Amino acid sequence: MFELYDECPFELDWQESRLLAARKLSEAGIPCMIYAEDALAHAHFVPTYQFGLHIVVADSNKDLAAAVIARTLHYKPYTGGREHYHESIFADASLPLVYPYSVHLEITPASPVDGPHMILVHPQSFFNLAVDDYSRSISLPPFPDNIRFPTLTAFLDSLYDTIVDPSSGHRSRTGTRDHNTWVSYLFGYTIRQPFFLPNGDLKPEIVELKNSLRPENQFAFDQALRDKFSVKEAFHVRREVFRQMGRLDLANRPPPTRPPGNRAPIERLKALTEAMASETTGPDRSVSQA
């Protein structure tokens, strides 16, 4: 059994180093929300390794926020080379960014701290968040009040929105993998099993959490609890919920596109494997008998 925590599992000095960019935005008067692994660790007590720092801001503040971070902490625009931030070669040969509408910044030797090697500044619309909606986020002292962290409900809503029916209109294979991983961390470390009573019903606190989610995400959450989650099924149920709510603009949106796929690496690997097998076996030396 893994170890559970009732507070952030990382020392305050580490937290301050990780979130220095958010402090710079706070000082510049730009509200922001911490997302991804740092939100898991800081606000939801998940002892996960933290990769790039994901910062969410109002869409209109995205470029300004990135400029503030680049100027004050000596980060530079990302030029490529880090696989973690791109679609898989097996999904798309062109290796597009997982977050094409976000600003990607990478650390330089001039940066004053050994902070995250990558900082991603996301427009809030991508994750269906609202930085200024304090009813769905919390602050964590000693960080300023305008550095926010999503509540458990807001985090789950945002993740299921992005996994099932992304606002961008495109479902990234790498992004979906990461987002499902974050959901599993919340299930394991924050919500915590058992989810069910002995009679098979959901525990009351799980029912309360489910009911706090947006109606369109409750089915996906319930199915995930039962290890029956299917993106395809959740998508159709979600669209039907919108239809019943009279939200035809959302019910009738085109379904999200998916990566085109790329079989070339698989075919090359297959050919290499066959060639190696042929070399190992050698030529057929059998002689037919007259």
What is the CA 199 to chain-centroid distance, rounded?
34
pLDDT in tens, 17-68: 999 999 999 999 999 999 999 999 999 999 998 889 999 999 999 999 999 9
**Neighbouring C-alpha atoms within 13 Å toward the C-beta of 186:** 29
Residue 84: pLDDT band by 50, 70, 90 thresholds?
Answer: confident
Q: Would you say residue 49 lies in a domain? A: yes
- Are 107 and 18 contacting, i.e. CB atoms less than 8 angstroms apart? no
Handedness of CA 247, 249, 251, 257 (dihedral sign): negative
Determine the average pLDDT of the residues in 87-94: 89
Contacts of 121 (CB under 8 A, 6+ apart): 55, 57, 62, 65, 66, 69, 102, 103, 105
Q: Would you say residue 270 lies in a domain? A: no
Tokens describing residue 41: 């660790």
- Are 30 and 121 contacting, i.e. CB atoms less than 8 angstroms apart? no
Residue 108 has a pLDDT of 94
Q: Would you say residue 225 lies in a domain? A: yes
Q: Would you say residue 262 lies in a domain? A: no
> Tokens 């000596």 appear where?
74
Q: Would you say residue 91 lies in a domain? A: yes
DSSP string, the chain: -PPP-SS-SS-HHHHHHHTHHHHHHHHTT--EEEEHHHHHHHHH-------SEEEEE-GGGHHHHHHHHHHHH--EE--S--GGGB--TTT-TT--BSSTTSEEEE--TT-SS---SEEEEEEGGGGT--TT-GGGEE--TTS-TTEEEE-HHHHHHHHHHHHHS-TTSB--HHHHHHHHHHHHHIIIIII-S--B-TTSPBPHHHHHHHHHS-HHHHHHHHHHHTT---HHHHHHHHHHHHHHTT-HHHHTSPPPB------HHHHHHHHHHHHHHHHHH-S-------
Residue 281 has a pLDDT of 67
From CA 198, how far away is CA 201, in angstroms rounded? Answer: 7
Q: How many CB atoms lie within 10 A of CB 117?
A: 14
Residue 28 has a pLDDT of 98
Residue 284: pLDDT band by 50, 70, 90 thresholds?
Answer: low
- Structural domain tally of the chain? 1
Least confident interval from 156-160, 217-221, 261-265: 261-265
Residue 287 has a pLDDT of 46
Q: Would you say residue 18 lies in a domain? A: yes
Q: Would you say residue 66 lies in a domain? A: yes
Q: Would you say residue 75 lies in a domain? A: yes
> Tokens 């925590």 appear where?
5
pLDDT at 122 over 80: yes
The parent domain of residue 189 ranges over 12-251
pLDDT at 289 over 80: no
Residue 76: pLDDT band by 50, 70, 90 thresholds?
Answer: very high
